[in-house]
A and B are shown apart, each in its own frame.
Chain A
Amino acid sequence: MSMHKRILLAKMGLDCHDTGIVTVANILRNAGHEVVYLGLHNFADRVVKTALEEDVDAIGISFLSGQHMTQMRRLIEQMQREGLRVPVFCGGVIPEDDVQALKDMGVADVLLPGLLSDEVAHRVDRLIAREAA
Chain B
Amino acid sequence: MSDTLLQKPSGKARDYEEQVFETGAGIEIKPLYEPADAGDFDVERDLGVPGEYPFTRGPYPGMYRERIWTRRFQVGFGSPQETNERIKYLHGQGANGFVITIDLPTSYGFDSDDPIGDGEVGVTGVPISTLDDMETLYDGFGPDAVSYALSIRPPVSSVTLAMLAAVAERKGVPFDKVIGTQQNDPFYQMSGGPLQTVTQFFPLDGTLRLCVDNIEFISKNMPRLNWMVTNGYNLRETGVNAIQDGAFTLGHAFDIFRRARERGLDIDLFPRRASFFLSCSIDFFEEIAKFRAMRRLYARTMREEFGATNPECWRLRFSVQSAGNTLTRQQPQVNVIRATVEAMAAVFGGAQSIHLCSYDEAHGLPTEESSRMALRTQQVIAYESGITKTVDPLGGSFYVESLTNDMETAIRKQLAEIDERGGMIACIREGWLERQINRERVRNQDDIDSGRRNLVGVNRFRIAPDEEIPIKTHKIQADVWGARRGEYLRQYRADRDPQAWADAMAHIDRAWKAGENMVPVLMNAVKNKVTMGECHEAMRQAQSWSFR
Contact residues of A with B, CB < 8 Å? 13-19, 22-23, 26-27, 39-41, 43, 65-67, 69-71, 74, 93-97, 112-114, 116-118
Q: Are A70 and B441 closer than 8 Å at their CB atoms? A: no
A residues less than 8 Å from B442 (CB atoms): 23, 26
Interface stretch among B377-385, B470-478, B526-534?
B470-478
- What separation, in Å, do the CA atoms of A23 and B237 have in the docked complex? 14
Contact A116 B124, beta carbon cutoff 8 Å = no
**What distance in Å separates the Cβ of A44 from its nearest Cβ neighbour in chain B?**
10
Q: How far is the CA of A95 from the CA of B116 in the complex (A)?
A: 23
If A14-B105, A65-B104, A96-B363 touch, whether A118 touches B123 (CB-CB below 8 Å) is: no
Contacts of B325 in A (CB 8 A): 19
15 A-B interface contacts by CB (under 8 A):
A14-B108, A22-B438, A26-B441, A26-B442, A65-B123, A66-B478, A67-B123, A69-B119, A69-B478, A70-B118, A93-B362, A96-B473, A97-B473, A114-B330, A114-B457
The count of chain B contact residues (Cβ–Cβ below 8 Å) is: 53
**Is the CB–CB distance between B329 and A66 below 8 Å?**
no
Q: A40-B196, A95-B364 are in contact. Are A16 and B190 (CB under 8 A)?
A: yes
Contact status A22-B478, CB under 8 Å: no
Contact A18 to B191, CB < 8 A, known contacts A41-B200, A118-B449: yes
A39-B194, A65-B124, A114-B329 are known contacts. Are A70 and B119 too (CB-CB below 8 A)? yes
A40/B194 in contact, CB under 8 A: yes
Binding site for A on B (CB under 8 A): 5, 8, 10-13, 104-105, 107-108, 116-120, 123-124, 190-191, 193-194, 196-197, 200, 237-239, 325, 328-330, 361-365, 438, 441-442, 444-445, 448-449, 455, 457-459, 470, 473-474, 476, 478-479
Of listed B104, B238, B444, residue having the most chain A CB within 10 A: B104
B330 and A95 contacting across the interface, CB-CB below 8 Å: no
- The residue in chain A whose Cβ has the minimal distance to the Cβ of B547 is A41
Q: For B446, give the chain A residue with the smallest CB separation.
A: A117
Q: How far is the CA of A16 from the CA of B199 in the complex (A)?
A: 12
Give the complex CA separation of A43 and B459 in angstroms. Answer: 35
Q: A41 near B362 (CB under 8 angstroms)?
A: no
Partner of A15, one of B104, B363, B470, B479: B104
Nearest neighbor of B105 in chain A, beta-carbon distance = A14
Contact of B364 among A13, A19, A93 (CB under 8 A): A93
Bound form: Cα–Cα A69–B448 in Å: 30
Q: Which of A40, A41, A96, A114 has the most CB of B within 10 A?
A: A114
Nearest B residue to A120, CB-CB = B445
Contact across chains for A16 and B362 when beta carbons are under 8 A apart? no
- Are A13 and B196 in touch, CB under 8 angstroms? no
A13 lies within 8 A of B193 (CB): no
6 closest residue pairs by CB, A with B: A70-B119, A16-B197, A14-B104, A95-B473, A95-B364, A66-B123
Residues of A near B200 (CB, < 8 A) are 40-41
Q: Which of A23, A70, A97 contacts B478 (CB 8 A)?
A: A70
Residues of A near B117 (CB, < 8 A) are: 14
> When chains A and B are docked, how far (Å) is the Cα of A69 from the Cα of B475?
12
A96 contacts across to B, CB distance below 8 A: 363, 470, 473
**Least Cβ–Cβ distance between B238 and chain A, in angstroms:** 6
Closest approach, in angstroms, between the C-beta of B143 and any C-beta of chain A? 28
Given A13-B120, A65-B123; A116-B458 close (CB under 8 Å): yes
Distance in angstroms between the alpha carbons of A70 and B362 in the assembled complex:
19
Find out whether the CB atom of A116 lies under 8 angstroms from the CB atom of B441.
no
Q: Which residues of A contact B364 (CB under 8 A)?
A: 66, 93-95
A118–B476 CB distance below 8 A: no
Residues of A within 8 A of B473 (CB): 95-97
* Cα distance, A95 to B526, chains bound together (Å): 38
Chain B residues whose C-beta falls within 8 Å of the C-beta of A43 in the assembled complex? 116
B104 touches A13 (CB 8 A): yes
